[in-house]
Structure formats: structure tokens, C-alpha cells
A and B are shown apart, each in its own frame.
Chain A
Amino acid sequence: MTVTTETRPSTIDVDAIRADFPILQQERDGKRLVYLDSGATSQKPTSVIEAMDEYYRTYNANVHRGVYRLSELATARYEESRVKVQRFINARSAKEILFTANVTAALNLVAYSWGRENVGKDDVIVFTEMEHHSNIVPWQILAQITGARLEFIHVTDDGYLDEGDIQKVLELRPKLLAVTAVSNVLGTINPVRELAARFHEAETVVVVDAAQAAPHMPVDVQDWGADFVAITGHKMLGPTGVGVLWGRRELLQAMPPFLGGGDMIREVHLDHTRYAELPYKFEAGTPNISGGIGLGVAVDYLSALGMEAVREHERELVGYALERLSEVPDLRVYGPPTEHHGAAVSFTLADIHPHDLAHILDQENIAVRAGHHCAQPLMERYDIAATTRASFYIYNGQDDVDTLVTALYRAREVFRL
């Protein structure tokens, strides 16, 4: 099962983009920062940083409460961001956009609220071998609580979901499928729309982790046709501590609240409470206001570039990276070929442990991730303890790939290879 995106020359001007990111202007020992860890968290443009700063400096107030001007302004900006996100992922209504802390919080919300209500003993919950721990552990906990059974879709040698497993689990008519849109390790772009359609035939609710998709390619939740989609702000130029759960309105309406408290109520009596409407029913407590505002500005930045253009830039860049990496002796890349490959490229180099490799790369001011990437089942699948991961974004260019490849040869020297 594969997804192929159309190809068209990139319109992304990397130099112009770099100028918007203060952190990329720094040097260490005369070496510019080659930031290849956007899969962990992206850098932030000036506009995002300034928007958050402006909130704290000029209209800091709580939202959804005050009748005074500052609070009205804060509320307006915060709610504007919700609408921006709605348009960004093409949701039908802003009521379907729930602000959360991150993808982890969003997936836990689904597990606790939808899961406890709808999953029972001996029901089947399916997730894939390439999930991030945040799309594994909440389902394991749900299974423990409800007595549901876990089934898995394994991953093939070249990093795709195993079609045989998909057919096998479909026959079990699972209650829930949890799947990532793009693997944070292998970079695999999964065919979300096709999966959602197939699993809906089995009346399965489909939950999509779009943490590694939303920053890098167009996400259209109506086109995907899944039931829940989780994204996080800090991987898409926004601040940490703000994420989004999109859910189908009818599902969200039927679900009980996740957290109880202020802001999620219509009226509270000592013995009972009437809950607020969507999306506030799921937004107890003072939210991350500056974060929400920052996320809105991040969405503006990406929308101005155009997500098709972002995807095209990264497709070209990852294609170039895969080609250059294949020249390095004893280097093994994990994951599919370019056309199905998102922005993350994981590899191992000879017998050099990824930690050692990342350490050597850091000497050249290259930031990569080394480790299990919160995907230990996937590491077990390939029988490795860890990989080194270079993950690319809009401010990366071929010069970054060249610097990386030169440093990999340097690492070979350090290890006397």
C-alpha cells in the first residue's frame, strides 16, 4: 500500500526562510547551525516568537471570562487561531478543533473519553508497529482497563505497513485503529485515506497521529475521512505545549468530558454540572493562551508558503539526501524510497553507535537525533538498539545534506574505518 504525491519543482526559497529564524543566525566556533532535528521539534520564526511576546507584553489576560478590553482581545486572538487551524486542516467546523497540550494529550483524550465509553471486554484495538510511544501506551492502558485485546499491523523490511496484517485485523472488525500518518523514524507516508475507508467498512474508528504530517504536507481531514486526527504545534513552527485534536463532531458530542474543571461548564451545582458545548467541553482550565496564539501565527507562516510547496521542497531534499547517503560506505537507511518518504531519514553507519555518531556530528554543529525515537517496538522489529535520524524542514537545503555527508566521512575517520 503506497501513496504517491505529484511532483512539481519546489518554490521554497531556503535563504529567505532562514532569515526568518533567529536561531539559524548563530554560529558556534565559526560553524553555522545545521539543524536536522525538526522531527523532534522545529525552530520558530520571528513572527511566532514576537506574537507570543506581544501577547504577554500588551494584552495578557485570561480568555473566555473578562468583559474588559484586554480579555476580549486575548479571547479574540486565541479563537482566531482555532479558525486558522480549522482552515489549515480543512475541518468542517471550528467546534471540531480542540486545543490540547500536544499529540500525547490529544490521543489520551480519545483513549479516556471515547475509549472508556465505547471499548469493552474482548473488543479489538489495533495499532501499528511504527507508532510513536504516544500512540501505543494510551491504547495499552485502555486495553488493561476495559479488557480489550490488542492486535498489531507489522512493518515490512522496506518500511511499509504489512498488507497481510491489515487484511487479518480487518476480519476481526476492530473497534479502533490507531495509525500514524507519517512515521517519525522511517519517514513512511502511510495511505491514511485508503486505510480510513477500509477500516470504516469494518465499522472501526480511525485515530490518526499526524504529528509528523501536518508540518510537512497538506492535511485535509475531510479528505482523509478518519475520525480523530492529532497534531502538535511545536513540530510545525509553533511553541511547545499546544496541540490540536480534531474529531468528528458527532463523536465529540457523544463523548463525556476528559478533564473536569473551569471553562468546560455551562452551569455547576453542588451535585451536578451541565457541560459546555464543543469545543469547550474538552478544554478544562486556563489554556495555553500564548501558545494558541503562536500556533495561529505558525499556521499563517506555513499557509503563506503553501503546504504543497513545503512537501515538494522536502521531497526533493529527502531525495537528494537519500542519494548522497547511499554513497557513504557501510551506511544503511531504514524506510521507503523517496516518493513515500516524509521528512525523517533514519540510518546506521557501520558499527558506530548512533550516540557516538550524534556526538561526532555535534562537533560540526550538526544537530541530529540519536536513539530509539520513542519507537522501541520498531527498533525491535529491525533488531537495532537505535538509529541516527536526520529530519528536514523548510529551512534546510542541499548544503545541509552536504555538510552532514562530509561529517559522516569524518565520523568514519574518528572510528578508524
Chain B
Amino acid sequence: MEDFYREYILDHYRNPRNRGVIESPDITYADSNPLCGDEIQIDLLVKDGAVDDVKFSGRGCAISQASVSMLTEMIEGKPIDEVKEITKEDVLELLGITLTPVRVKCALLGLKVLKSGVYGIEAAEDEDL
């Protein structure tokens, strides 16, 4: 269990990076996991086709919160085109732990919200996240 709830996961859970909201975001999207009620909102400022600023808000388990915190770090400064290319495997690799199917949903909620924001909702649904 200590191997699952690793130090860096708990660190991101307790000291999330980029937590907050952006006043007038270029892109904003929020979604929840109906199973557990966890919610995540991601706000983006886009400049010259790249992520200029990113903030997330909401609440959830250590896995979902650490995952979205790490994801926001990963996309800072990245071109939106590259953000669109991020896969669930990328996120799971970022987390670095093996997840059961139920916990995979926790881990991918942040990515689902991010992709829904940058792609539009329909595209994200096609991603089967």
C-alpha cells in the first residue's frame, strides 16, 4: 500500500500544483465521476497556440488529485496540439503505479476534463476514457 500511495502521490495530493481558477480562461471545462462524486474543473489560458497558464479545482481522491496536479505540470507551456496528443497511457505512466479498473477511472478524470476542454466534448467521449 505504501508502494501505491507513494510519497510523490501524497505530495501532489496534499500540495497540489496549479490549484485554483483562472478569472477569464480561454478554455474551461468541468466534469465529475458519478460513481464517487469527485469533480474536477480545469481552466486554461492559451497564448500563441500554447498553454500559457493552467489551474484546476474540485475535489477527489488522492489518485485523481495527484493525477490532475501532475497533468497540469506536464502541460504548462505545451502547444495545444501536443496537449491533444496526450494519451491515458501517458497519464498512467506519469503516476507510475499499477491501478485496478475502478481506480483507473479516478486517475483519468483529469485527462478527460482536459481533453473535453481542448477538443470539445464529443471528441473526448470518443477517447473512451
Interface size on A, residues (CB 8 A): 21
Residues from 1 to 34 in B contacting A, C-beta threshold 8 Å: 1-2, 4-5, 7, 10, 13-14
Q: How far apart sit A123 and B12, CA to CA, in the bound complex (Å)?
A: 51
**CB atoms of A356 and B36 under 8 A apart:** no
Listed stretches A1-9, A257-265, A371-379; interface member: A371-379
Q: How far apart sit A352 and B106, CA to CA, in the bound complex (Å)?
A: 15
Q: How far apart sit A359 and B36, CA to CA, in the bound complex (Å)?
A: 13
Q: How far apart sit A413 and B5, CA to CA, in the bound complex (Å)?
A: 10
Q: How far apart sit A414 and B7, CA to CA, in the bound complex (Å)?
A: 10
Residues from 354 to 391 in A contacting B, C-beta threshold 8 Å: 354-356, 359-360, 363, 370-372, 376, 379, 385-386
Residue among B1, B10, B38, B106 having the largest count of chain A Cβ atoms under 10 Å? B1
Q: CB-CB < 8 A to B38: which residues of A?
A: 355, 385-386
Residue among B5, B14, B63 having the largest count of chain A Cβ atoms under 10 Å? B5
Q: How far apart sit A147 and B37, CA to CA, in the bound complex (Å)?
A: 29
A351 CB-CB contact with B under 8 Å: yes
Residues from 23 to 79 in B contacting A, C-beta threshold 8 Å: 35-39, 59-63, 65
**CB atoms of A414 and B2 under 8 A apart:** yes
Expressed in whole angstroms, the minimum distance between the Cβ of A380 and any Cβ of chain B is: 10
**CB atoms of A356 and B35 under 8 A apart:** no
Select from chain A the residue with minimum beta-carbon distance to B58: A385
Question: Contacts A359-B103, A415-B10: A371 and B5 contacting too (C-beta < 8 A)?
Answer: no
**CB atoms of B62 and A353 under 8 A apart:** yes
Q: How far apart sit A386 and B39, CA to CA, in the bound complex (Å)?
A: 11
Q: How far apart sit A356 and B2, CA to CA, in the bound complex (Å)?
A: 12
**CB atoms of A415 and B61 under 8 A apart:** no
Q: How far apart sit A372 and B39, CA to CA, in the bound complex (Å)?
A: 12
Q: How far apart sit A353 and B14, CA to CA, in the bound complex (Å)?
A: 11
Q: CB-CB < 8 A to B36: which residues of A?
A: 354-355, 370-372, 385-386
Select from chain A the residue with minimum beta-carbon distance to B1: A414
A272 CB-CB contact with B under 8 Å: no
**CB atoms of A385 and B37 under 8 A apart:** yes
**CB atoms of A414 and B5 under 8 A apart:** yes
Select one of A353, A379, A415 contacting B60, CB under 8 A. Answer: A353
A416 CB-CB contact with B under 8 Å: yes
**CB atoms of A363 and B1 under 8 A apart:** yes
Q: CB-CB < 8 A to A413: which residues of B?
A: 2
Q: How far apart sit A371 and B5, CA to CA, in the bound complex (Å)?
A: 19
Expressed in whole angstroms, the minimum distance between the Cβ of A363 and any Cβ of chain B is: 6
Q: CB-CB < 8 A to A352: which residues of B?
A: 62
Q: CB-CB < 8 A to A360: which residues of B?
A: 1, 5
Select one of A359, A370, A376, A385 contacting B59, CB under 8 A. Answer: A385
Residue among A370, A376, A416 having the largest count of chain B Cβ atoms under 10 Å? A416
Q: CB-CB < 8 A to A416: which residues of B?
A: 7, 10
Expressed in whole angstroms, the minimum distance between the Cβ of B104 and any Cβ of chain A is: 12
Q: CB-CB < 8 A to A351: which residues of B?
A: 13-14
Q: CB-CB < 8 A to B13: which residues of A?
A: 351
* Binary B-proximity of A130-156 (CB < 8 A = 1, otherwise 0): 000000000000000000000000000
- What are 19 contact pairs spanning A and B, CB under 8 A? A354-B36, A355-B38, A355-B63, A355-B103, A359-B103, A360-B1, A360-B5, A363-B1, A385-B36, A385-B38, A385-B59, A386-B36, A386-B37, A413-B2, A414-B1, A414-B2, A414-B5, A415-B62, A416-B10
Q: Which residues of B contact A (CB under 8 A)?
A: 1-2, 4-5, 7, 10, 13-14, 35-39, 59-63, 65, 103, 106
Supply 17 further A-B pairs (C-beta < 8 A) apart from A386-B37, A415-B10: A351-B14, A352-B62, A354-B61, A355-B38, A355-B61, A355-B63, A355-B103, A359-B4, A359-B103, A360-B1, A360-B5, A371-B35, A371-B37, A372-B36, A385-B38, A385-B59, A414-B4
